[in-house]
Amino acid sequence: MMKQNLTKAILIGGLVVALGANAAGFHKSIINAGLVITPEKFYEVVQKTKSDQVATNFGTPDNTLTMRDSAGVVTGVVWVYHNAVAKQDKLMDANFVIVNGEFKYVALSNAS
């Protein structure tokens, strides 16, 4: 089951990279440039988000990064949403860590 979840996360991540999404914010589409939200709203939605709801609640990520263990085995992915959270006078990236197909945690970082 663990391999199946990891494979699913990798396939989804690969699809996202293949699509080449690069817009700012959450829920991007051809007609929507993306939704930028406050940190308070962001954490409110994150608190209610289950492992299988990340894409539903936040949309397609802008980038995905592969995480590997010391032996080089893929253990998870990081979904990055660029310029998605507005904190005071700056935009921040939201980074969702998904390990073995399960949403583990999220971190905000300075926009890249």
State the pLDDT at residue 24.
Answer: 66
How far apart, in whole angstroms, are the C-alpha atoms of residue 15 and residue 7?
A: 12
- What are the tens digits of pLDDT across the range 15-74? 444 333 444 678 776 666 778 989 999 999 999 999 889 988 899 899 999 999 999 999
Q: In what order do the strands lie in the sheet with 102-110?
A: 63-68, 74-87, 90-99, 102-110
State the pLDDT at residue 17.
Answer: 40
87-107: average pLDDT: 91
